[in-house]
A and B are shown apart, each in its own frame.
Chain A
Amino acid sequence: MREATLKVFRGTDYETGEFKTYKVPVEDGMVVLDAIHYIQKEIDPDVAVRWNCKAAKCGSCSAEVNGKPALMCKTRMDHFASDTEIQVQPLKTFPLVKDLVTNVAWNYEVNKKITPFTPAKDADWTFFQEDIERVQEFRKCIECFLCQDVCHVLRDHNRKDAFIGPRFLVRTAGLEMHPLDKANRIESLKDHGGIGFCNITKCCTEVCPEDIHITDNAIIPLKERVVDEFYDPVMMLLKKIFGKKQK
Chain B
Amino acid sequence: MANYEIHEHDILVIGAGGAGLRAAIEASAKGVSVGLVCKSLLGKAHTVMAEGGIAAALANVDSRDNWEVHFRDTMIGGKMLNNWRMAQIHAQEAPECVRELEQWGAVFDRTKEGKILQRAFGGHTYKRLCHVGDRTGLELIRTLQDKGVHQGIDVYMECTVTKILKDGDKVSGAFGYFREDGRYVLFKAKAIILATGGVGRSYLVTSNSWEYTGDGHALAYDAGADLIDMEFVQFHPTGMVWPPGVRGILVTEAVRGEGGILRNSKGERFMFKYLPEATRADYAADETEAKKWLEDTLSGRLKTEYKRPPELSTRDNVARAIYTEVKEGRGTEHGGVYLDISYQNAERVKKKLPSMYHQFKELADVDITQTPMEVGPTMHYIMGGIRVNADTAETRVPGLFAAGECSGGMHGSNRLGGNSLSDLIVFGRRAGRGAVDYTHKLGSAPQISESQITEAIEELEIPFKRQDGINPNDLVKELHTIMGTYVGIFREEKDLQTGIEKLEELKKKFKLVKANGTKVFNPGWHLCRDLKNMLISSEAIARSALSRKESRGAHSRLDYPKTDDSLGNENTSVSKDGETMKLEKTPLNKMPDDLKELFAKKEPAHA
List A residues at the B interface (Cβ < 8 Å). 12, 27-31, 34, 40-42, 44-60, 74, 76, 97-99, 101, 103-105, 108, 111-112, 116-117, 119, 123, 125-129, 132, 135-136, 139-143, 175, 178
Contact B146 A41 (CB under 8 A): no
Contact B149 A126 (CB under 8 A): no
Q: How large is the interface on B (under 10, 10 to 19, 20 to 34, 35 or more residues)?
A: 35 or more
| 19 A-B pairs with C-beta separation under 8 A | A29-B365, A40-B523, A41-B477, A42-B473, A45-B522, A46-B524, A46-B525, A55-B359, A97-B180, A97-B181, A98-B520, A101-B521, A108-B42, A117-B105, A132-B110, A136-B133, A143-B43, A143-B44, A178-B107
Contact A116 B49 (CB under 8 A): no
Contact B363 A31 (CB under 8 A): yes
Q: Which residues on B sit within 8 Å (CB–CB) of A50?
A: 40-41
Contact A30 B244 (CB under 8 A): yes
Known: A58-B44, A74-B363, A116-B105. A52 touches B209 (CB 8 A): yes
Contact A51 B103 (CB under 8 A): no
Chain A proximity of B28: nearest CB distance (Å): 14
Stretch of B134-142, B267-275, B434-442 with 4 or more beta carbons under 8 angstroms from chain A: B134-142
A174 and B133 alpha carbons, distance in the complex (Å): 17
Chain B proximity of A24: nearest CB distance (Å): 12
Closest to B359 in A: A55
List B residues at the A interface (Cβ < 8 Å). 40-46, 48-49, 99, 102-105, 107, 109-110, 112-115, 132-133, 135, 138-139, 142, 146-147, 149-150, 155, 157, 180-181, 209-211, 242-246, 249-250, 355, 358-359, 362-365, 471-473, 477, 515-518, 520-525, 527
Contact A140 B527 (CB under 8 A): no
Chain A proximity of B238: nearest CB distance (Å): 14
Contact A40 B473 (CB under 8 A): yes
Contact B40 A60 (CB under 8 A): yes
Contact A45 B44 (CB under 8 A): no
Q: Give the 4 A-B residue pairs with the shortest CB-CB distance, closest first.
A: A29-B243, A45-B524, A117-B105, A46-B517
Q: Which residues on B sit within 8 Å (CB–CB) of A105?
A: 157
Closest to A181 in B: B105
Contact B250 A139 (CB under 8 A): no
Q: Which residues on A sit within 8 Å (CB–CB) of B139?
A: 139
Contact B243 A30 (CB under 8 A): yes
A156 and B515 alpha carbons, distance in the complex (Å): 38
Closest to B240 in A: A55
Closest to A101 in B: B521
Q: Which residues on A sit within 8 Å (CB–CB) of B46?
A: 52-53
Q: Which residues on A sit within 8 Å (CB–CB) of B103?
A: 119, 123, 125
A50 and B112 alpha carbons, distance in the complex (Å): 41
Chain B proximity of A115: nearest CB distance (Å): 9
Report which of A58, A108, A175 forms a contact with B149, defined as CB distance below 8 A: A108
Contact B49 A45 (CB under 8 A): no
Q: Which residues on B sit within 8 Å (CB–CB) of A99?
A: 521
Report which of B104, B114, B517, B520 forms a contact with A127, defined as CB distance below 8 A: B114
Interface centre among A46, A104, A123, A136 (most CB of B within 10 A): A46
Known: A47-B523, A143-B43. A116 touches B363 (CB 8 A): no
Chain A proximity of B232: nearest CB distance (Å): 24
Known: A97-B520, A116-B150, A132-B110. A55 touches B363 (CB 8 A): yes
Contact B527 A45 (CB under 8 A): yes
Contact A45 B105 (CB under 8 A): no
A57 and B43 alpha carbons, distance in the complex (Å): 11
Contact A58 B49 (CB under 8 A): yes
Contact B473 A45 (CB under 8 A): yes
Known: A12-B520, A125-B103, A126-B115. A57 touches B135 (CB 8 A): yes
Closest to B135 in A: A140
Q: Which residues on B sit within 8 Å (CB–CB) of A97?
A: 180-181, 520-521
Chain A proximity of B170: nearest CB distance (Å): 33
Contact A126 B113 (CB under 8 A): yes
Contact A178 B105 (CB under 8 A): yes
Q: Which residues on A sit within 8 Å (CB–CB) of B180?
A: 97, 101, 103
Chain B proximity of A94: nearest CB distance (Å): 12
A30 and B245 alpha carbons, distance in the complex (Å): 5
Q: Which residues on A sit within 8 Å (CB–CB) of B362?
A: 56, 74, 76
> Can you add 5 more A-B contacts, CB < 8 Å, to A51-B210, A54-B209?
A28-B242, A47-B523, A112-B150, A126-B113, A129-B109
Contact A111 B521 (CB under 8 A): no
A27 and B211 alpha carbons, distance in the complex (Å): 25
A55 and B365 alpha carbons, distance in the complex (Å): 14
A190 and B206 alpha carbons, distance in the complex (Å): 46
Contact B245 A34 (CB under 8 A): yes
Q: Which residues on B sit within 8 Å (CB–CB) of A42?
A: 473
Q: Which residues on A sit within 8 Å (CB–CB) of B243?
A: 27-30
A135 and B245 alpha carbons, distance in the complex (Å): 33
Chain B proximity of A17: nearest CB distance (Å): 12
A149 and B53 alpha carbons, distance in the complex (Å): 32
Chain B proximity of A57: nearest CB distance (Å): 5
Q: Which residues on A sit within 8 Å (CB–CB) of B133?
A: 136
Interface centre among A12, A55, A99 (most CB of B within 10 A): A55
Contact A54 B364 (CB under 8 A): no
Report which of B41, B110, B157 forms a contact with A128, defined as CB distance below 8 A: B110
Chain B proximity of A222: nearest CB distance (Å): 18
Chain B proximity of A142: nearest CB distance (Å): 7
Known: A30-B243, A129-B109, A136-B107. A53 touches B48 (CB 8 A): yes
A13 and B245 alpha carbons, distance in the complex (Å): 31
Q: Which residues on A sit within 8 Å (CB–CB) of B112?
A: 128
Contact B146 A111 (CB under 8 A): yes
Contact A29 B364 (CB under 8 A): yes
Closest to B152 in A: A112
A105 and B211 alpha carbons, distance in the complex (Å): 20
Chain B proximity of A11: nearest CB distance (Å): 10
A42 and B523 alpha carbons, distance in the complex (Å): 13
Report which of A12, A29, A52, A126 forms a contact with B246, defined as CB distance below 8 A: A29
Known: A30-B245, A34-B245, A41-B473. A60 touches B102 (CB 8 A): no
Chain B proximity of A236: nearest CB distance (Å): 30
Contact B209 A53 (CB under 8 A): yes
Known: A29-B364, A125-B102. A132 touches B107 (CB 8 A): yes
Chain A proximity of B476: nearest CB distance (Å): 8
Chain A proximity of B251: nearest CB distance (Å): 10
Q: Which residues on A sit within 8 Å (CB–CB) of B41?
A: 50, 60, 104
Contact B516 A46 (CB under 8 A): yes
Interface centre among B48, B365, B477, B517 (most CB of A within 10 A): B48
A128 and B42 alpha carbons, distance in the complex (Å): 30
Closest to B155 in A: A108
Known: A55-B49, A57-B49, A129-B110. A31 touches B524 (CB 8 A): no
Q: Which residues on B sit within 8 Å (CB–CB) of A111?
A: 146, 149
Q: Which residues on A sit within 8 Å (CB–CB) of B157?
A: 105, 108
Contact B110 A52 (CB under 8 A): no
Q: Which residues on B sit within 8 Å (CB–CB) of A116?
A: 105, 146-147, 150
Chain A proximity of B326: nearest CB distance (Å): 19
Contact A128 B114 (CB under 8 A): yes
Q: Which residues on B sit within 8 Å (CB–CB) of A28?
A: 242-244
Contact B211 A52 (CB under 8 A): yes
